[in-house]
Amino acid sequence: MSTPLIAITNESYAHLLANYLTSQQLPSQVADSEKEGEYIIVLADGGDISRATAICEEFIRQPGHPKYQQAAWENGEHVALHPSKSGNLGIGNLLSWAKTAPFAASVLFICTLVYALSWLGFFGTVSQYLKMQPVGQLLQTHEYWRLITPAFIHFSALHFIFNLLWWSMLGAQIERTFGFSMLLLVFVVSAIASNLAQAVVSGPAFGGLSGVVYAVLGFVWWIGWLRPSWGLSIPKAIVGFMLVWLVLGYADVLWVNMANTAHTVGLISGCLMAALLALGSGRRKPAQL
């Protein structure tokens, strides 16, 4: 006889939990409750009730952990984490997301503010203080914040949306799994490395978060490959898409001028930081901060 485990008012979370239980050899499904807007996780006959209950309790404490979405991907199902059945994103939901990933949210806010000011006609003023300088000039002015701040400048709506969507998804995964300090380190190292390399190769006329985006992509990709038990991973199809996009940039067949060096150096820096973390920590998962 099947056993009801827990009632959840969010349908997306209910399916995430059922997928994860099933991936742990505890076959489960989501059933509608008699109460409208409530979903019941039901454990199949013969399942270990005590173990399933413990997993449910862990899920309630941290429903946003990437391992639950990973279980859904492995089962061939992508479950969107909508805060309500309608999927509307309200201020309260955005604040809740920001609390779980404050640094990812901070970068998102800064990029949005800079883009909004640029759209309102203040691009020249904003870029004057944020854009990269030629390396020789930078060594004379000592305005070394410019090694990072070009990441906040975006030149079009597509450029802005593309970068911030990937940052919000991948950066938040890193922060929730390893903490604020780790995402800060990945951001600073990859921003400096990618911006400096692009400036050396093609000069200071560039901007965008793309180098950092490729860094967080590489970080999540390699952590998932080297330490899958840590619960941080990304579907191979997404990695393939981003790598093809990188190659197309070098082929110069796209309608935009790509900062190819920044993308490549960002990707390499993210992969290297993941490798150092994974190989340097042995088989022990780092504590969350």
Give the phi and the psi of residue 268 in degrees, each rounded to 5: -60, -45
| Domains of the chain, each with CATH number or no CATH | 3-74 (3.30.70), 91-280 (1.20.1540.10)
In the block, tokens 């190989």 appear at 279
Question: How far is 217 from 167, CA to CA, in rounded Å?
Answer: 9
Q: Which residues pair with 43 in a beta bridge?
A: 3, 28
65: annotated active-site residue: no
Show pLDDT as tens, one digit a residue, over the chain (289 residues).
Answer: 678 888 887 777 888 888 888 888 888 888 877 777 788 888 887 778 888 888 888 888 777 676 776 666 655 444 444 443 334 445 556 777 788 889 999 999 999 999 999 989 888 888 889 999 999 999 999 999 999 999 999 988 888 998 999 999 899 889 988 889 999 999 999 999 999 999 999 888 888 899 999 999 999 999 988 988 787 888 888 888 888 878 887 776 665 667 788 999 999 999 999 999 988 875 444 444 3
User: For the chain, what's the residue count?
Assistant: 289
Give the closest residue to 248 by CA, choosing from 231, 264, 232. 264
Specify the pLDDT at position 285.
Answer: 47
Catalytic residue among 210, 229, 233, 281: 210
Reading across the β-sheet that carries 28-32, which strands appear in turn? Answer: 3-8, 39-43, 28-32
What phi-psi label fits residue 37: left (phi over 0), alpha (psi between -120 and 50 degrees) or beta? left
Specify the pLDDT at position 62.
Answer: 74
pTM: 0.67
Specify the pLDDT at position 84.
Answer: 39
* CA dihedral of 203, 207, 212, 217, whole degrees rounded to 10: -100
Question: Which residue type, as a one-letter code, is found at position 118?
Answer: S
Catalytic residue among 15, 65, 154, 263: 263
Specify the pLDDT at position 256.
Answer: 60
Specify the pLDDT at position 1.
Answer: 62
Burial 37-58 (b: 16+ CB within 10 A, else e): eebbbbbeeebeeeebeebbee
Q: Yes or no: say if 210 and 266 are a contact pair by the CB < 8 Å rule.
A: yes
Specify the pLDDT at position 10.
Answer: 75
Tokens linked to 157 = 């709506």
190: annotated active-site residue: no
Specify the pLDDT at position 287.
Answer: 43
